[in-house]
Structure formats: structure tokens, C-alpha cells
Amino acid sequence: MTEEVIELPEPDAESKALVEKMLSGDRRALARLMTLIESRPPGIYKIMAQVSARMRGAPRLGITGPPGAGKSTLIDQLIREWRSRGHTVGAVAVDPSSPFSGGAVLGDRVRMQEHALDQGVFIRSLGSRGSQGGLSRATMEMGCLLDAFGMDRIMIETVGVGQTELDIIGIADTTIVVLVPEAGDTVQTLKAGLMEIGDLFVINKADRDGADQLSVEVRSMLEMHHREDGWEVPVLMAQARNNVGIKELADKVEEHRVFLMDKPRVGPFRQDYLKRWLVELLLAELGERIRGPQQEQVSQVFLQVEEGEMDPYSAAARILASPEIIKSMLRLSDGP
């Protein structure tokens, strides 16, 4: 049997030119490429392969925590700090309430716009568009673009309140959990899983009542968690708005980066993550084929489900029972 090969679509000439321009350091091309990638054009695999080849493995810093913890202000200050140390910085905000995505009060927004004038900074926000999986994929891809573009440090902001923070683990090398002194809820949030993912904890708005108490609580919870990698998780105090504690935080982040250096590959280069990433890409493509136009046999089953005549489980069982139907559904059939 000769092996049939489907050529995956090439990016169009315009996209190719955009990638070249981006890789040569054109900021507008970077912005346009991000928009292009988000729209998931047919040539995306080849575009991202080209981008991947140029990635340098810039450290990725995840910043997560409940809404209102001041994550964006912290990022804003960290950008300043890194710039003063001579690093270029790219940031992706996945928090739809982030000032980066226009969800903030005017003062914050104005402050952020200062960075727009700095050639060494590039900030991109991802709204609440698309599904969770889609957001996670998009975040990862924006990070890859910023890396290939040549940014020295990459920051990713997500809202972490239970489920959502799970995604950041695979994407970041170093994860900062930002907390604020507030009644009751904090301990709950910690229990919700943030405890396990933080490489650094920051008590922000540390001039508020209860900051010391919170710090003690976090430390005592950390003591109950054994870190296998031997990293000692610091709990830092900060007042991002007043630029207090930022230098110390940046130092600790760098310390963690150095700590990771003699460890197995991390973040986007971790073995398990790379495989998961490949599986996700494959499933995304198969999903598109399934959702696309279907021949009689499959579309009949879909229709029965939509009409409530068959439950989704029975329908799935019926489709999965036949390799021929699966092949037809995934457009893998041999003949017409």
C-alpha cells in the first residue's frame, strides 16, 4: 500500500513575510502575527514550527492569585525593575479583568501605557474569548512568539482561584502567587491548590492590617508541604503600588531561575509538557474535523443527539464502535 500524504497547508505569502519581519525584530509584525495566530489560520502549524525553531528559552514567570490581589501592578513594577537591569520583557495577561485588557480603572490603564512607548517591552492581553483550552493554547503561543522575538523575560498573568491556575503550571518556569491580607477567604484560596504551585509567595498591599498574620499562615502551610526539588519557597512582603519589595522579588525570581539551571528542562521545555502539548495540538485538529461537515452516517447520529432522540453517551458509543465511522468522521477514509 502506498502511503497517502496530505500536505498541510502552507502559510500564505503574507503570513510568511510577517514571520520573517517579526523574527527580525519588527514590533508591529509581532502584534499582527499574534492576532493572526489567535485566528488559527490553516498555515498555523508551519508558522509555529518556524517560530519554535527560533525560541531561545527565555525564562517564563507566571503570576497568579485572586482578583484584586494587585497582580497587574506587580507586573508593571517588575517590568520597570527588569528594564532597569537591562532586560527586555514580554507579558501576556490572561486575566480578563486585567488593566492590560482594558478591564481596569483609568489610572492603571494610563500607567500601563507608559510601557507602550518602550521598545524593550511588549504586552499582550487575551480576553475571555474562546474556551479554557483555547486560552491556554493561545497563552502558550503568545509566549512562544515573545520568546522567538527575543524578549529576555516573559511574564504571564492569570487569575488563579481554583481551577484556572492549573494551566499556568505547564507554561511557567517560575510561578508567583500573589495574595492580599483579607478576611477569611485567603486560607480557602490557599487550600484550593495555590499552595502547591507557588515557587514564590508575595503578600501584596502589605501595609494593610493582617499582612503579618497572613504571612505567618502561609509560612505554616508551606511547612506542611514537602518540596521534592529542594527549593525553599520564600514568602515576600510587597506594596506594588508604592514600589516596595519589588527589587527583592526580582532578586528571588532570578535566584529561582539560577536554581532551575542544573535541573531537568522546565516550563515549556519539560518533557511531559511537550508531549501534552503535542497531544493537545492533535486533538484540536481532530476536533475541528469532527465539528466540520460530516457524511450521512455521522451527521445522522449528530442530528439525533441534537433532536434529543439519542443521548450523547449512546451516540458516542455507536460512533466509537465502528472504525469505519470514525475514519469517515475524521476524513481518513480510503475511498470516496
Q: Binding to its own copies by residue 285, rule CB under 8 A?
A: yes
45: number of CA atoms within 13 Å, CB side? Answer: 12
Stretch that binds its own copies, among 109-117, 203-211, 236-244, 310-318 (CB under 8 A): 310-318
CB of 251 to its own copies, least distance (A): 29
**Are the beta carbons of 157 and 100 closer than 8 angstroms?**
yes
CB of 86 to its own copies, least distance (A): 28
Contact characters 131-170, its own copies, x per CB under 8 A: xxx-x-----------------------x-xxxx-xx---
What's CA 160's distance to the chain center, in Å? 12
Collapsing DSSP to helix, strand or coil, 165 comes out as: coil
Q: How many residues line the site for its own copies (CB under 8 A)?
A: 86
Q: Binding to its own copies by residue 107, rule CB under 8 A?
A: no
Beta pairing partners, 244: 239
CB of 281 to its own copies, least distance (A): 4
Q: Which of 113, 64, 123 is nearest to 88 (CA)?
A: 123
**Cβ-Cβ contacts under 8 Å for 1 (sequence gap 6 or more):** none
Q: Scan residues 193-222 and list those touching its own copies (CB under 8 A).
A: 193
Query: Within 10 A of 10 (CB to CB), how many other CB atoms are there?
Result: 13
Query: Which cell goes with 289?
Result: 474535523
Contact characters 28-57, its own copies, x per CB under 8 A: ----------------xxx-xx--xx----
Residue 308: phi, psi to the nearest 5?
80, 15
Q: Binding to its own copies by residue 188, rule CB under 8 A?
A: yes
Q: Binding to its own copies by residue 260, rule CB under 8 A?
A: no
Residue 230 or 291: the one with the smaller Cβ distance to its own copies is 291
CB of 224 to its own copies, least distance (A): 15
Q: Which of 246, 241, 38 is nearest to 140 (CA)?
A: 38
CB of 177 to its own copies, least distance (A): 14
